[in-house]
Structure 1
Amino acid sequence: MSQPLPSPSPTGHPMPGIDNAPPRRSKVTGGLAALACAACCALPVLIAAGVLTGAGAAILEKTLLVVATGLAVLALGMWWLHRRRTVQRAAASGAGCACGSSGCGC
């Protein structure tokens, strides 16, 4: 079940304690997905250079497409999980809650 995003602060900046940036592991996994995609795009050059045969390139293309897709999904999943855990920790610790003249609210 997804949780609603917290309201932005009056200045328009995100609340302190909530990290919206992707974690390093997600960036690395996304970079590897981009590398696998670039390798897939380089297959015609490798065939023309005589490094790969047509059949080898076909097998490698299918494998690289699956690997790139899997890594991209994994990177997005790690980013989503990081974001969810960060928001839950911030909500549990009370970060972003302020008490004003009208009472306390988050």
Structure 2
Amino acid sequence: MKFFIVALILLIQACGPLWAQTPAPGPPDSPGMLTRLFDKARAAKENVETALDVVIDFAGEYYGEHIQPVVDNYRNWAAGMRTSAREKMHYYLPLFMPNTTDG
């Protein structure tokens, strides 16, 4: 048992400095690395803006070719109905109003 305790103490003394060591710091970031990172970020932003422009153009073309004609038909129909209803009201409303000028 004494041998085991002595061996354990020697092992702890031998491995203690290894556990206490911290890894060596890596090389510092060079300014070129940050510049490259900013360049990549700028390029990614430009790619996203280009893709967004393409999507907006596509949506505008689709709306102009497929949605706008249908909307115009319904808008014209609704305007015609409003005009027709207004004309009917101006014609029939006086017929139902009591004449208050005759005493």
Q: Give the structure with the higher percent helix.
A: 2
TM-score calculated relative to the size of structure 2: 0.39
Higher relative contact order (CA 8 A, sep 6+): 1
TM-score calculated relative to the size of structure 1: 0.38
Q: Give the structure with the higher percent strand.
A: 1
Q: Compare CA radii of gyration and give the structure with the larger one.
A: 2
